[in-house]
Chains A and B, each alone.
Chain A
Amino acid sequence: MTPFAYARAGDTAEALRLGHAETAAYLGGGTNLVDLMRETVAKPDTLVDVTGLSDTITETADGGLLIGAAVRNTALAEHAGVRARYPMLSRAILAGASAQIRNMATVGGNLLQRTRCTYFYDTDGSRCNKRVPGEGCDAVGGFTRIHAILGASEACVATHPSDLCVALAALDAVVHVEGRGGARTLPFGELHRLPGDRPDLDTVLAAGDLITAIELPAMPFAATSTYRKVRDRASYAFALISVAAALDVVDGQVRDVRIALGGVAHKPWRATKAEALLRGGPATEAAFRAAAIAELADARPLRDNGFKIELAKRTIVAVLGDLGVSA
């Protein structure tokens, strides 16, 4: 680990002042950043501890929830309102990492965690465009069981590792950000990037930008929602495929639906094609299958992950079926 200065921010203004430099990094629970620093993948010269900032979950005027960025993952998963009104979010968090890590990790940090691509971590032996822009990518042509099938580029085939983010993508969350230009919000789907030719950039945030909160809009039908994660062992493993979905069925017809996929792309993948096909149509297994096929139509397998395309389709069908299938 390279040396760094540590400072604990007392409020957002102080955090922004301390963290404005390109070489500074905000520190949440440290569950990813400390590891990346130990592996010398990340080498910030200043760590600004933001765990003392907002860690509350409050009701919004329009019936949603405002989640402070310093809320711990466990606190969010166990929140009574989240469990009852957004169960996919509780389930997504509980499917991730271990209890110890969930007790440490913050919501803001979860959004900004880096990929678990092994080539990204292998500073001594592998080339990685995400770590060293322009260097090349040894994942392409390498072991790619955990890599992307959608939205990848020649420069990068890494996947986003978060479970929580898959649920936030499905729930139309809004990200509250403060930076040099003041406070702003952006739709969750616009926070993370596809790799293109700049895989070193995971998000659209600028240096010094601080995520202060996540807002969940009111979504009554999300009370019928869930999250399913398919992985190589039953617990404490990253997703091969995951599906977050909410389904609103009235008289056998899909009135509304939200679907997002994890483990498939450089960002949490909102399944807009599948949603559009399903909305207004019958809630049947055949319709779910057709929607899943359409969503995965552009999927491209790498050497070792072709199985993920069919696995994603089947998981979508299974999750929607659990939420409400008509005969």
Chain B
Amino acid sequence: MPILVNGSAVALPVDPRVSLLDLLREGLHLSGTKKGCNQGACGACTVLVDGERILSCLALAVQYDGRRVTTIEGLSDGNALHPLQQAFIDHDGFQCGYCTPGQICSAIGMAAEAKRGVPSNVSADLTADVQLTREELQERMSGNLCRCGAHNGIINAIRETVAAEMAA
């Protein structure tokens, strides 16, 4: 079975050593997904697989046959930005931009987790509905590092979009 990347069927790599990240960047020239540390420490390579956020650098592409992968390129509708992309611009959610695709994919996956009630390390009550407070967002987004230090803008952008939608 092929991998579905942003809706297009892509053949599995012949060499099982190819990571999902390298398949995206080198094989498909989808360079929006970034290679930061390549060892699972920074989150820059975050993509969505069947709606769940994962690290594509630690994923062997052959393990993902038949799965639906969404990258930053798959979020916008032509020139119309995803609301979270626009919010990152409005809130200065980046400087150099290298971590941004991973941050945005991560935030979308995070929202889905929160909606189905997944608790976090800072949730006082494991069984209560999730309230995406600033502290909760900081914890839930801690797998995505920004070396420019734009974290406050990133959290503000997510609060304005994802968290506001949940609270509504």
A77→B60 contact, CB < 8 A: no
A51→B63 contact, CB < 8 A: yes
- Residues of A241-259 at the interface with B, using a CB-CB cut-off of 8 Å, are none
Which residues of chain A come closer than 8 Å to B60, judged between CB atoms?
Answer: 6, 27, 30, 34, 47
Nearest CB on B from A5, distance (A): 7
A99→B143 contact, CB < 8 A: yes
Q: How many residues of A contact B (CB 8 A)?
A: 38
B142 at the interface (CB under 8 A from A): yes
A126 at the interface (CB under 8 A from B): no
Q: How far is the CA of A22 from the CA of B63 in the complex (A)?
A: 22
Question: Which chain B residue has the least Cβ–Cβ distance from A34?
Answer: B58
B19 at the interface (CB under 8 A from A): yes
Interface string of B33-71 (1 = CB under 8 A from A): 000001110010010000011110011101100000000
B121 at the interface (CB under 8 A from A): yes
> Known interface pairs A99-B53, A100-B53. Does A1 touch B17 (Cβ–Cβ under 8 Å)?
yes
B39→A35 contact, CB < 8 A: yes
> Known interface pairs A30-B58, A236-B142. Does A103 touch B117 (Cβ–Cβ under 8 Å)?
no
Which residues of chain A come closer than 8 Å to B16, judged between CB atoms?
Answer: 4-6, 47
B153 at the interface (CB under 8 A from A): no
Instruction: List the interface of chain B (C-beta within 8 A of A).
Output: 15-17, 19, 38-40, 43, 46, 52-55, 58-60, 62-63, 106, 109-110, 113, 116-121, 123, 126-127, 138-140, 142-144
**Extra inter-chain contacts (4) besides given A38-B38, A78-B119, A87-B126, CB under 8 Å:** A90-B126, A95-B121, A99-B106, A100-B54
Nearest first, the 4 closest Cβ-Cβ pairs linking A and B are A98-B143, A235-B142, A6-B16, A83-B126
Between A and B, 6 residue pairs with Cβ closer than 8 Å are A31-B58, A91-B121, A100-B143, A101-B143, A104-B54, A234-B139
Instruction: List the interface of chain A (C-beta within 8 A of B).
Output: 1, 3-6, 8, 27, 29-31, 34-35, 38-39, 47, 49, 51, 74, 77-78, 80, 83-84, 87, 90-91, 94-95, 97-101, 103-104, 234-236
